Structure 1
Amino acid sequence: MSDLEEDCQLGAESEEEDCELSDGELQEAFTKGLLKPGMNVPLEEPKKAANNVEGLKKCLAEFKRNLAWVERLDLTNPPAEDIVAKAEGRAELSQGGDQIDADDDFQREMFFYRQAQATVLAALPKLNKLQIPTKRPEDYFAEMAKSDQHMQKIRKKLIQKQMAMEKSEKAKKLREQRKFSKKVQVQVLQKRQKEKKNMMTAVKKYQKGMSDKLDFLEGDDQGKRAGAGAPSKPHVNKKGPNAKRKFKDSKFGFGGKKKGTKWNTKESYDDVSGFRAKVAHGKAGKKFSKGGKNKRPGKETRRKMKARK
């Protein structure tokens, strides 16, 4: 390193040491008003917007061309009449838009819409006067901005989405049908249990003599007939047997006492004249066996007979 470079470094270090002040010295300088803005941090002044009207007019005159209105199609209009405010009885905003709040999106967009509406209303008569068509012809053809492959992909996605929606709707209907069928099944089971309970109650009443009606034997047919409005036969209270029963009683009689006819008495117990020993010991029916007498002797008998020979 040369002597000149060493002197430059030493001079820079000495300047830095001179610039570095203690906290106490800085506070004392601040109280005396020696510290001012811009001494340590450079301040940038705000840019001033220059409204050079003459220069703007000169630039406009350079590129301005005296063309017909058909070539320019420029219109400057105030917004159209606010029909909604007029119908509601509200005060209409100023045509210049001074009363419109720029931060209110609805008011701002409505102002733009009304201004565009006024421009269309002013431009259409001019275009019709100049015999310029304003509607698209029926045979108008314009090339699609997107390719056929892209449109096919979109079509496939739309079809898939539609199929998923149909599948979801079908599953939803199926779930509703299952819920309805389950509800109907529960109602049918409850109805059967109720009918069974009513029938058992009627049977118990009939057994206990509390009722002489046998309508529960007919089941649901009678209820259906009665519900359908069919004329029912008048109930006849039968106090005695019918004609058929009376005829059989007169022909065959009542048959006498049947309960306890086989019970032993003292006389039947002492009477042994009808006792048969063979019948009592089961020997009476041997001669009436199915196969009769066995003509062929048994195997052991046949073996002994052979041995004797």
Structure 2
Amino acid sequence: MESVEEDAALGQESDEENCELSDDELQEAFAKGLLKPGMNIVVDKPKKCANNVESLKQCLADFRKDLPWVERLNLTNLPAEDVLSKVEGKVSSLTNGDVNADDDFQREMFFYRQAQATVLEALPLLNKHGIATKRPDDYFAEMAKSDQHMQKIRKKLISKQMILERSEKAKKLREQRKFGKKVQMEVIQKRQREKKAMISAVKKYQKGMADKLEFLEGDQKTGKDSSPGSKKALNKKGPNAKRKYKDQRFGFGGKKSGKKWNTKESYNDVSGFRAKVAHAKGSKGGKKGKGGKQNRRPGKSVRRKMKARS
């Protein structure tokens, strides 16, 4: 019975598709289960295009009103003439209207020249009709932005300026540090060169190649200032007075290095050769007793016998 009632209700709904249902009726039908998915299909009606030429002409005639220019303020101008290109004898592409739309700079220059030409033509017309083009001195106009908004912008601009100043200051400090490090390295290298020159001067003085230490008197000269002739003269000068006195008193010790080098005579001289010593057949050293024999430690068995006797 319930299915029959539902079919009857659906039949009634299909008959009453064209009638408008209220929200309450739709909610009741949805609660009873009468509304199911797929029942309502939206059908796109074909659009009817009406080409009413007479009405369009009437609208265009209404738009066309014989108003004075002051009420319209419309101007259509070509770009202004480029004075620089005219002086140089060049023909500007903006004057001819040949503009590349993909070139941003050329396009913006076209707009700028066109606005310039419009202003040059509009100012005399406005002055002719008695329209003021300059703002009076006592002119007061309310700002589009509020004071609070402008204060926020001012604070933001000040913060950006402070950030830029800090970055510039930090950049200068880094440069100064680099320059300071460079100067410090130069000073350290100069000190090292002076120390090296002083040590070499002291060594020369100790070896008798110099009579005095010039850096003690404040007349020290660097390697660049000293000429090669003075170095040769210093080397040829010979020992100082202290060295001469010691040689005179104690004598010259002779050559110290190369004493143990073999010569032809020492190599051929075999008078001092001892076979026992050379082949380790002789005594290996140690103290000798009265009999001329070496005092050796007795063996293990002898030491045991000696202990047993005692």
TM-score (norm 1): 0.49
TM-score (norm 2): 0.49
